[in-house]
A and B are shown apart, each in its own frame.
Chain A
Amino acid sequence: MPVKIEIPSPLREHTGGLVDVPVTGSTVKAALEDLVRQYPAIGPKLFESGKVRPYINLFVNDEDIRYLDDMDTATADGTILAIIPAVAGG
């Protein structure tokens, strides 16, 4: 069972409409690189100058990666990596 990346609806036009994309990679960074390898058009939406854009939050199994090991957070088979827009709340 690969790592599964949850794609927010506005980005699904870049993943052929897929809600979840199966990827391989043992860290968040590697998993996202595999996503971009499969769907190159999503790359500029997620990254700016090689870094994840500031208004994107990433969650590994519902935990914010900033409280884990950030982009080096480990991912394994069955891990769910969610891409969530940060502009909400308050």
Chain B
Amino acid sequence: MATLDFSTGLRCRVCGKLYPKEALNFCKDDFGPLEVDYDYEAVAKNITRAKIEKRPHTMWRYRELLPISGEPSVGPQVGGTPLVKADRLADALGVKHLWIKNDAVNFPTLSFKDRVVSVALSKAREFGMKTVGCASTGNLANSVAANAAAAGLEAYILIPASLERSKILNTSVYGANVIAVDGTYDEVNRLCSQIALKYGWGFVNVNLRAYYAEGSKSFGFEIAEDLGWRFPQHVVCPMAGGALIGKIHKAFTELNKVGLVSQPNTCKMYGAQAAGCNPISDAVKTGKERHKPVRKPNTICKSLAIGDPADGFFAAKLMRETGGWAEDVTDDEIIEGMTLLARTEGIFAETAGGTTVAVTRKLLEQGKLPRDEEIVICITGNGLKTMDALYEAIEPPVQIKPSFSEFESLMGNYASV
């Protein structure tokens, strides 16, 4: 069988040096980030829309543009989430053409992280690793734990101790070794880098990060295919480490490069953060080339609470170069965003989704996003995981006795309102 692995190695994003396929995330010459390199000419010769459309609706239908050898051994059913035409939210926001890319229902752990983890753990197995791990703000912890359990890999998951209870439970249930660190995400991340360098385990977002991040491209491939093999004019994306926004844009560029979409990629990229942890949006708004790290993030949106984002520089550059913008919103605005999405589209997104909806509204009000062009909002995680943020904001149900007269009296109350 012909190989479907068209990746040729890892290339430094700073100096361009090429490395073989190995578990390495930075250039040994300048510490620059490594990114998977492909033979795009060979991909173009081996991929067609018809070939893709015959495959199952999972992220692996775009496998020629994902960096694994052979069949994916972890997460073969990940991806294929709905692109929802969001007409009621569009009316509420005052825009003409709006879609929600809904990874709140991604399989198996209800966030986009299943995409990156399936690639990273498939790669870990190719490298013969038996132990894997991650530093996580929650969704990644859930995904590594679940997918490692299904693959029979031992997992060490390091998280900030202050995470939402449900995100911790949704990790521990899979039998992973969960280590809650008394510190910020950035401190957890630094610790994981030290562990990965010493123990040689497969940390998905440390030494396997180059492969891991490629999984996010499938989010963009699916948007383009579901729009009828074309690109939207604007994408609004949440930002934590800042990798996803870049990979969605890269996905569009690759689809054009290999001939699957003839339209050039002119999509404008917009980033969303919480006001309590806004290093990337601050860099965009104040014209800084490099972000200023946030030492102590303070927001209900814990999944985006990365104070020193690894891809902050590239994300800010991308937004500037595509003509997009970035914004950040308060905790109250985040909750309003969550409820607005739930009440207009029936989609319960986590706090990061509320952030993205609220930022979209803010950008529209500022005139940074036009109201009459095509916009896709990226929803990356499920609201069932961050219910702590909502208990005080949502009215408890009216309580009555099992009595018809009480019910009718209640209806009378409603009618008089």
Contacts and interface: CB of A to CB of B under 8 A. Distances in A.
Interface of A: 8-11, 45, 48, 53-57, 59, 62, 64, 66-67, 82, 84-90
A87 B205 CA distance: 9
Given A90-B242, A90-B243, A85 B313 contact: no
A90 B112 CA distance: 12
B167 interface: no
Contacts of B192: 88-89
A45 B306 CA distance: 27
A45 B30 contact: yes
Contact of B14 (A11, A55, A84, A85): A55
A76 B190 CA distance: 22
B105 to A, nearest CB: 22
Interface string B1-30: 000000000000010000000001110111
B271 to A, nearest CB: 13
B25 A88 contact: yes
Nearest to B200: A9
B377 interface: no
A8 B26 CA distance: 11
A48 B311 CA distance: 20
Q: Which 9 A-B pairs have the closest CB atoms?
A: A90-B241, A55-B31, A89-B189, A87-B33, A85-B26, A88-B206, A10-B28, A87-B26, A88-B193
12 contacts: A53-B31, A55-B33, A59-B190, A62-B187, A64-B186, A64-B293, A67-B293, A85-B31, A85-B193, A87-B32, A89-B185, A89-B206
Nearest to A8: B197
Given A64-B186, A84-B194, A89 B241 contact: yes
Interface in B216-267: 240-243
A84 B205 contact: no
B295 interface: yes
Contact of A90 (B30, B203, B310): B310
Interface in B362-415: none
B197 A9 contact: yes
Contacts of B14: 55
B309 interface: yes
Given A10-B24, A88-B189, A88-B192, 10 more contacts: A9-B197, A10-B28, A45-B28, A48-B30, A55-B14, A64-B186, A86-B308, A87-B31, A88-B193, A89-B189
B272 interface: no
Contacts of A8: 197
Contacts of B311: 90
Interface residues of B, number: 40
B61 interface: no
Given A9-B197, A57-B190, A66-B293, A86 B31 contact: yes
Given A84-B194, A88-B206, A45 B310 contact: no
B33 to A, nearest CB: 4
B57 interface: no
Given A87-B31, A87-B32, A89-B185, A55 B26 contact: yes
B197 A88 contact: no
Given A55-B14, A84-B194, A89 B310 contact: yes
A82 B242 CA distance: 25
A46 to B, nearest CB: 9
Contact of A84 (B190, B293, B309): B190
A82 B309 CA distance: 19
A34 B306 CA distance: 33
A90 B193 contact: no
A66 B291 CA distance: 12
B123 interface: no
A56 B31 contact: yes
Interface in B310-336: 310-311, 313
Contacts of A55: 14, 26, 30-33
B63 interface: no
Contacts of B78: none
B112 to A, nearest CB: 12
A51 to B, nearest CB: 12
